[in-house]
Each structure stands twice: as C-alpha cells, then as structure tokens.
Structure 1
C-alpha cells in the first residue's frame, strides 16, 4: 500500500513583505504549504530543508537578485530540479527574458500580477509535482514488489530444497541397501517411510500456505461455518502435534473446559491453532508450551492461547509479523516463509474474531485467538 502524497510546497522569494503577503493570498489552497523568504540566502536555507513543487522568485532584490539565486539553485543537486517562475516589474524585454530562461526559469510573471494567470500557472506546476510524486511512489512500490518476489522465490527454493534433498538421499540409501546382501528389514523400511511422510507433509504445508495467500488476495478463501466444539478440536490438534513436539524435546500441555461450543469453520480454526503450535515449537528454544482454551463471559468470546518460553518478540515487530513474508528480527535462520501468521489472522477476521500477540523480549510470546461464542456465520466465499 502506497503512502498518501504529502502537501505540495511552494516557495515565494521577495524582499518586500507586502508582496509576499499578496502573492500568498493568491495561491494558498488546501493541499499546499506556502513558504516565504525575503532574501536569496533565506530561500536557499529553506530549499535545503524542504522539497518544493515551485519557486516564485522576484528578480529585483538587493543583496542577491533572482537570476543569481536561480544560478545557485541550478548548481546544487538538492535544488536543481525545482521549477522557477520569475516575477518582474520590468517591461517584456526579450534580452531580459532570455537571461531569465538562461538561468533556469520555466516562466515569467509580470507586475501588476494577473490573479487568474498566477493561480493557473501555480496549479499547473503543483499538479506536475504531484504526478511526479505519485510516479516515484509507484516506482518505489514496484521495486518493493520485485524485491519481495525475488525474496519469495529464494525462500521457496530454499524451503523446498531441504525436504526434497532429504527424500532424494533416502531414495539413494534404499537403492544401495536393496542391492546389498541383507536388503531392508521391515522396521528400517518403516522408519524411512515415516521420514519421507514428514518431508512430504512439510512440502504440502508450504504449498497450501502459498495457495491460501493467493485465495486471500482474490477473496476466495473458502469458509464452511458450522457448530463445533472448540475445546475438543484444540485437544485433538495438540494430540496430533505431540509426536512432532516429542521429537523436538518439547512438552505441550493443554488446559481446556470439557466443552466449548462455537460456530465457525472447524478446519480453518484448527489450521490457526496448528500454525501457532508449530511456531511455538520453532521459536520456543525447546522449552514447554502451554495451550489454554477458555471463555470470557463479559465479552461473549472464546479464546485459544498458545504460550511459549522462547526469545519473545520486540514491540516494533508485533504487528509486522502478521504481514506477508514478515518475520521477527533474529529469526531468519529458522525455516519458514513468514506466511502462517498472515493467513491465521485472515482466518480469525473472517470469523469476526482476532489474533493477537503479547510478548516481552526474552520472556517468550503468547498468541491469542479470540472468537465470538455466538458468532454470526462468516460470509461464505466462493471456493
């Protein structure tokens, strides 16, 4: 998303205060900021501090005239591109005008000033400035998108290479063992198959995340709401991930009521909880993870909390990590694309709920999914 285009700055330079006041009254409009200077030196100082859409310079000033100021502006990178309009009380002499254009002017205004002409000329240059700003913002956004695409492709290649390499090596090992005198016994074969399944599941999750991001962007992330038991669903997710946790040496505990009925897409809510638990295993430094399921009676909300004892997340990162491809500082060495939390928050919001994080660096992180207990069914979106 591009930032809003700021107000256009216009600089007026004249040694007489009454001329500055009169000219400012002519050109001041919403969306413009008018700066005034009574000398060339003061004008240069302002131009080094601010970006200007236009500079209107009086030609006849005592210490530094308008032509001299324009020549100085053209010699400095910061001020070189500022359009210059001269104001002169002199007659429309061709040599006089030629000197002005030689020093960098784009136009002349002659005294007494024609209010309509002044407003029209200023409006043209302000509009040109805004168009340049919009083009620069669009260019920056395009460059950011290209960089994001390149980073994304690099991450995809990295994330797919590891499990594919593992499966390939396992295949080569099996080929050698099959050709040996003893062959493969059933327990060894079973362990190899289980490793293959884990790697394939990892690749499938990666591809599912990519597809879900595409569906979110196009408004096609399907939701199938129905009544279900959030407490039971959470216990089943924890049970399913216990093997992965055990292999990482992490203990997961869950505290949940006997039942907690809600309305929503059970598959998608489980997807959120799985994502939170997977992150807790990744970033929790091997320490215990606690899952809590409950209800806030006053807010009529159900919640699932997943708390780890890992590195924690700096306050500056706590919103950024919910954006696409974003991760907390210091976690780039951990596998992942930075898509899971983005998708999880989109799912929460589709249920009129929230996904939030509470964390202090060094003290772990708690992610909390909140859902309305008596939720209206999320709007069905075309698959």
Structure 2
C-alpha cells in the first residue's frame, strides 16, 4: 500500500458487500453491524506492529466497511500533521477533502474532539482523533459520497479510530525498541571485539608461563588457575560476540562431514579441568561415530553451551551426555542431563530467550545468552531443542538435528558422504 497525497487517494476495490455500507437510519443504531465491524477491526489490527501494514489495514477497513474515502494524518512530536495515507473506493467519483479541512483537523488535534461539521454536505465527512493514551497522534478523515451518515457510522468510525490509534501507538513503541535494541547490539559487539584482543594476548602470555621449567609447583598451580579463569573469559567473550552476530543475522554455516561423537568428546576434554573443579562427573553414551553434514564450529558451540549450562546449574551432580540416531536414521539426538536445581514449567520457554535466566542464584555469573545461542544455531541447522525438567529434579536438554543441515545462509565445504 503506497502512501499518497490527499488529492490523489489510492483506489481500493471493495471487499465487502454493498449492504455492509448502507447508511443507517437517522434514528437508532445497527447493533449487529457495529459488533461485526468491531470484531473485524480487532482481528485485523490486533497482530500488526509495522506502521505501513497498519495504515494499509486502516484503508481497507474504512473503504470495505464504512466510508467511500479515508485520509489519515499523523503527527510526530510537535511537528505539523502529515498525510500518511489516503484511499477511496474504486466505484465512486474522485473524492477530495473539503476546503475547510485544515482548520477542522487542527481543531480536532487540539481538542481531541470528534468533528461532525461535515454531516449533511455533499460529500459529507467527519474527522476522528487518533490517540494513544493521552497524546493525540493524528486524525482520520472519512468521506461519504452521499449527503449524510447515521449514528451507526459514527460509532463505527470512533471504534476504528480508537483501535487504529492503539495500533499506531504500539508501532511507534515497537520501532523505538527496535532502534534501542540495535544500538545495544552494536555497542555489545564493539565492546566484545575490543575485549577480544587483550584477552587473547593475556591467554598467550599465561600459556607461555606454564611452559617454563623453572617455576615452583605452587606457582605453577596458581598459573594453571589463572589460565582456567582466562579461558572462561575468552569463551564468555566469544559467546557475547556470537550473540551479537546471531542477532544481526551475520552467521553463516560452513557445512562439512562432522562426527558428533568426536565433537562431544573434544568438548568434554577441553572442559575436563572445569568439570573437575565443579565436582561434576560426566558420562558419555554413544553408538560410535555419528556423522552428519554440519558446521563443526557451530556444533561445538551447541555442545559446549549445553555442558556449561549443566555445570553451572548442576550443583556438583553427575552429568550424562547421550547421542543416538533417530529412526529411520535421517536425524540424530543429543541429550544433556544434569541433576541440579531443575526448571519450573513456566520458565522452560523463557530460558531460551536472549538475556533470560531461570535461576536468580546465578544471575551475577551468567549473561543468559548460552541457551539462546543454542536455539538459534539448532534452528539454523533445521533442528529443534527442548527441555524436560521440574524443580529439584534436574533437567534434560534434548537437541534433534537432521543429518544434513539445511540453512538458507549455509556454505558447503568438504566432501559429501
């Protein structure tokens, strides 16, 4: 739906029968028609968040069910009203706004009162304020090819304007929040990128120290502890950077033949010190090599985040990891089970959202992005992830992946099995 000047309204084909637009009697209201219209308006505008979509819907709702022409003027801040959209039925002669419209619109925006001065003229018109809470955000002008309209049209116009104002207000909040989130993500990405270089340099320096043959065992133990902590910081910084890239849709999959069992074994080996420090014995059950066409680095991130989550919330309990092939063999299943604090049913969807945590106990040590990254990457592979848990009974996170990942943003590499 394009936005046009008021003297050039977009012509719309009528989608509702003509009797739906018959003027109501001068006395009384057509209650069934008003109820049906209110339901249609609510059903149409309720799900919309984008201003252009809302304006297009207003045009169709007004022309299909109410008037012969519709103009919507919107106000941003203290600025002058601008024409956001104009429409008319394709079965009526060219319609124009009345000559006194600017003054009438200004009065409606100032007083928040309905303007009915155009009733009885030919064509007749009314102006209804659009508001979201207290602020008036615009006005909706309805033009009728006939010389008058009745109380039913008046009530329908008020209802359409009320719901349209609410929808347009929501769209402004949505637009503001999207800009705020984009700004946050840009700052987040810049900060993690700047942190990456000194962290990697520090890790290299500590690694070099661990190779020194002259250090006493007590000093070496402390250096090993420092290395473990720096490794955690490097991994955390990588997850933060990945979070920003995933949110911006900048991650592509490089598909190759990968053994899931080997990836899990490597993750467990790389986290052996941390697992021991967390007092979390771990077991792995696998039928042997389970090969699929995946991105090995992203697959490692999925496994690493699930194991890290189990360590964090497992409270020193045993962790079991199992790999299986789902009949008839075109999908594989990875399950990570811990014996920790568990997750209430009402939190089980929320924990896969960005920056969400189910337990306030670990709020200071977790950004709440690990499981969100898991879900984003699993879905990029064309798979699913879910959790089964209850408070005090631990949790089992289950990932199912197709053995050949399908992603619009993938790049192929390696050879086909």
Question: TM-score, length-normalised on structure 2?
Answer: 0.55
Which residue of the other structure, out of 142, 164, 178, is the alignment partner of 1:130? 164
Verify: 1:380 aligned to 2:414, yes or no. no
What does the per-residue CA deviation read over 1:220-248, in whole Å, with 9 as the maximum and x for residues that have no partner?
11321111211122122222222211111
Verify: 1:327 aligned to 2:333, yes or no. no
Which residue of the other structure, out of 22, 29, 34, is the alignment partner of 1:20? 29
Judge conservation of contact 1:295–1:303 (CA < 8 Å) in 2: yes
Q: Which residue of 2 aligns with 1:192?
A: 222
With over 3 angstroms needed to count, the CA separation of the structure-2 counterparts of 1:114 and 1:381, relative to structure 1, is: farther
Judge conservation of contact 2:261–2:286 (CA < 8 Å) in 1: yes
Q: Which residue of 2 aligns with 1:233?
A: 263
- 1:347: Cα distance to partner? 1.0
Q: Which residue of 2 aligns with 1:31?
A: 40
Q: Which residue of 2 aligns with 1:221?
A: 251
Partners in 2 of 1:208 and 1:201 — Cα distance? 11
With over 3 angstroms needed to count, the CA separation of the structure-2 counterparts of 1:307 and 1:334, relative to structure 1, is: farther
Judge conservation of contact 1:264–1:377 (CA < 8 Å) in 2: no
Partners in 1 of 2:262 and 2:35 — Cα distance? 71
What does the per-residue CA deviation read over 1:32-60, in whole Å, with 9 as the maximum and x for residues that have no partner?
37xxxxxxxxxxxxxxxxxxxxxxxxxxx
Judge conservation of contact 1:290–1:308 (CA < 8 Å) in 2: yes
Judge conservation of contact 1:224–1:264 (CA < 8 Å) in 2: yes
Judge conservation of contact 2:41–2:163 (CA < 8 Å) in 1: no
Residue pairs, 1:162-201, within 5 angstroms: 185-201=215-231
Judge conservation of contact 1:242–1:252 (CA < 8 Å) in 2: no
Q: Which residue of 1 aligns with 2:284?
A: 254
Judge conservation of contact 1:26–1:118 (CA < 8 Å) in 2: no
Structure 1: give runs of 5+ residues left out of the alignment: 1-15, 34-101, 169-183
Judge conservation of contact 1:248–1:281 (CA < 8 Å) in 2: yes
Partners in 1 of 2:155 and 2:169 — Cα distance? 21
Question: TM-score, length-normalised on structure 1?
Answer: 0.60
Partners in 2 of 1:279 and 1:26 — Cα distance? 51
3-state SS in 2 of match to 1:20:
coil
3-state SS in 1 of match to 2:240:
helix
The alignment covers a number of residue pairs equal to 278
Partners in 1 of 2:237 and 2:153 — Cα distance? 57
Judge conservation of contact 2:286–2:322 (CA < 8 Å) in 1: yes
- 1:333: Cα distance to partner? 3.9
With over 3 angstroms needed to count, the CA separation of the structure-2 counterparts of 1:110 and 1:118, relative to structure 1, is: farther
Verify: 1:296 aligned to 2:330, yes or no. no
What does the per-residue CA deviation read over 1:178-201, in whole Å, with 9 as the maximum and x for residues that have no partner?
xxxxxx943233223222222222
Partners in 2 of 1:258 and 1:365 — Cα distance? 25
* Bigger radius of gyration: 1
CA RMSD after TM alignment:
4.4
